[in-house]
Amino acid sequence: MKRIITLLIFSCSITVAQQRDLKMPQVSQAAKVMQRIGLTDITISYNSPLAKGRKIWGDLVPYNEVWRAGANENTVITFSSDVMVEGKKIGAGSYGLHMIPTTDEWTIIFSKNADAWGSFFNDEKEDALRVNVKTEQAEMQDWLDYTFRNPQENGVSVLLRWEKLAVPVKITVDVPEVVFESMKKELTNINGFFWPGFNQAAQYCIRKNIHLDQAAVWVDKSIAIQKNFINLNTKATLLEKQNKQKQAETLKAEALTLADETQLNAYGYDLLNQGRNNEAIEIFRENVKRYPASWNVYDSLAEAMERIRDNKGAIENYRKALSKAPDSQKKRITETINKLNEK
């Protein structure tokens, strides 16, 4: 009997020791927001306290003291690539986000310690970056939150709002450089076995006018895997950018011999979009010559002529397109011809 009682006591002790508190809602609820700029993700995880009629700034949140920029454990901001914060570089990674409020200008702290409990153990030696920002007056908001304001191609402002105050922090990203580094990695994966990936990477560098030496390496790899109109034309464009006009023209001529109807048509529209109308018309004429049975080649040539206001030539080619077009296209082409006749 004594042995049984001892075992029961031991069993109860283990049960109590292993017991965990049941999950209950936090007073300051957890939240997370994310914004992508280019290929860069900016994520903020925080807990959102409520004002509940209390005086916040200079009271609940003292001035001139490090504040956790939220409630409970660290507010954490994560960058998936290197970024610039208020013009200062900070590397990819997760950071504890802390702030030092004042009546006017605030200090924003990015700490390498992203796992602390609030700001109680904040150590300036662990700073990755500090920047200063000006606050803004805002409409009353009872809850603290983070939002992203005015996202642009290469940047966004992170906005902390609480009570009648807003704190904006500007973040910018060197998007072309991030994309370049991403492409380098992708081309060591499955994309590195096929020609399109190398060609796309080269085209991106050409458009952004970055890393043209690497673009040359990539387009040559693409051609080595499978020579075609697309990658030969990419290399010709690169040669033009490098002021090697004679080599570019030779390569363009070779590329055109390999182009099919769809590729010639797409190339013609690309030239149109660049404002190179006469060159575009020559490409569309070549497409008509090669594929006289296609309604679309006449339609595209007509559109190019309409662009240069050669209405007579446009109408002539729209009529040829109309005679060959499927029923789904006839109404559009007829209406276009009628509008041109009215001019």
- What number of CA atoms fall less than 13 Å from residue 3's CA on the CB side? 0
Q: Interior CA angle at 313 toward 309 and 316, to 5°? A: 135
| pLDDT at position 15 | 56
Beta bridge partners of 95: 77
Closest to 102 measured CA to CA, from 159, 63, 131, 49: 63
Tell me the C-alpha distance between 310 and 281, whole Å.
11
State whether residue 297 is helix, strand or coil: helix
| pLDDT at position 79 | 98
Give mean pLDDT in consecutive 10-residue pieces for the chain, a chain of 343 residues: 52 59 79 97 96 93 95 94 98 97 95 88 91 96 96 97 97 98 96 97 97 98 97 96 94 94 94 92 95 96 94 94 94 93 83
| pLDDT at position 27 | 74
Q: For residue 65, which phi and psi values (nearest 5 degrees)? A: -130, 150
Tell me the C-alpha distance between 295 and 249, whole Å.
29
Q: Cβ neighbours of residue 314 under 8 Å, at least 6 residues apart?
A: 302, 303, 305, 306, 340
Q: Domains along the chain?
A: 29-173 (no CATH), 176-342 (1.25.40.10)
| pLDDT at position 3 | 56
Tell me the C-alpha distance between 11 and 310, whole Å.
95
Tell me the C-alpha distance between 101 and 107, whole Å.
7
pTM assigned to the model: 0.82
State whether residue 187 is helix, strand or coil: coil
Q: For residue 231, which phi and psi values (nearest 5 degrees)? A: -75, -30
